[in-house]
Amino acid sequence: MRPTINEWIRSRRIGYLYPILALLILAGSAFTFVAIQEWQVAEGYSIAFSSPDVSGVFKTVSGKIAFDEQNPAASQFDMTIDVNSINTGNGLQNKHAKSDEWFDAARYPTIHYTSEKIAKTASGFSVTGTLEMHGVKKPVSIPFTFQRTPKGGVFAGSCAINRSDFSIGKPGGDVAEQIKVDVSVPVTKK
């Protein structure tokens, strides 16, 4: 028995439908987003700074971290440090550091870092982003490592910051221009 013309047309339409559906599924999968692990800053973090003349820590840090060792390009950091949490171990020095001669914590209460690019390196990873401090924004790259732990992981990195680039203190004053910053941030999964 031969199919009617209507049956033949319907079968042809369905026959064309399969390749179109396959194409749509393939195109849709190209736009599928991979969920990147979000991390929460845990207790025990350290944001330390040092030079031959002064050293100390910032005691309050917060932020958003989305990081995947297998996909660093899709990862992102958005971190904030409370300038008023500075601790040099000397109350008078702390007060001076918060004053308008140095960090001017009243006008610029936070230090903010936002990543723009994260890449794998031979020794770990590197993040390049914008550091905003004392009302000045500058690009800063920080090499870092990520070590997994049973409860999460630890980010650790070091870099040098030129304080004059951010108009902190007097150029050529009693404190060295280059300040070393060492960061250790334990995290847990969100």
Q: What is the pLDDT of residue 30?
A: 47
Partnered with residue 136 across adjacent β-strands are 133
Residues 11 and 96 in one domain: no
Residues 44 and 65 in one domain: yes
Compute the average pLDDT of residues 6-15. Answer: 56
Q: What torsion, rounded to 10 degrees, do the Cα atoms 85, 87, 90, 92 define?
A: -30
Statement: residue 34 has pLDDT above 50: yes
Compute the average pLDDT of residues 19-43. Answer: 65
Residues 129 and 183 in one domain: yes
pLDDT 10s digits, 63-99: 999 999 999 999 999 999 999 999 999 999 999 999 9
Compute the average pLDDT of residues 112-126. Answer: 97
Both tokens of residue 146?
A: 């990520």
The answer to whether the CB of 140 falls within 8 A of the CB of 129 is: yes
Partnered with residue 184 across adjacent β-strands are 46, 156
Euclidean distance between CA atoms 160 and 131, whole angstroms = 12
pLDDT 10s digits, 133-171: 999 999 999 999 999 999 999 999 999 999 999 999 888
Q: What is the pLDDT of residue 13?
A: 55
Q: What is the pLDDT of residue 31?
A: 46
Nearest C-alpha neighbor of 78 from the set 59, 61, 98, 64 = 64
CA atoms within 13 A on the CB side of 169: 16
Residues 48 and 142 in one domain: yes
Q: How many domains does the chain have?
A: 2
122 lies in which domain range? 38-189
Euclidean distance between CA atoms 162 and 47, whole angstroms = 16
Q: What is the pLDDT of residue 175?
A: 85
Query: Lowest mean pLDDT: which of 1-5, 102-106, 174-178, 183-187?
Result: 1-5
Euclidean distance between CA atoms 145 and 160, whole angstroms = 16
Euclidean distance between CA atoms 144 and 125, whole angstroms = 5
- Non-local (6+) Cβ contacts of 160 within 8 A are 178, 179, 180, 181
Q: How confident is the model at residue 32 (pLDDT cuts 50, 70, 90)?
A: very low
Residues 27 and 42 in one domain: no
Over the chain, what is the mean pLDDT?
A: 87
Q: What is the pTM of this model?
A: 0.80
Both tokens of residue 100?
A: 């308008």
Statement: residue 17 has pLDDT above 70: no
Residues 17 and 44 in one domain: no
Compute the average pLDDT of residues 32-42. Answer: 80
Residues 19 and 113 in one domain: no
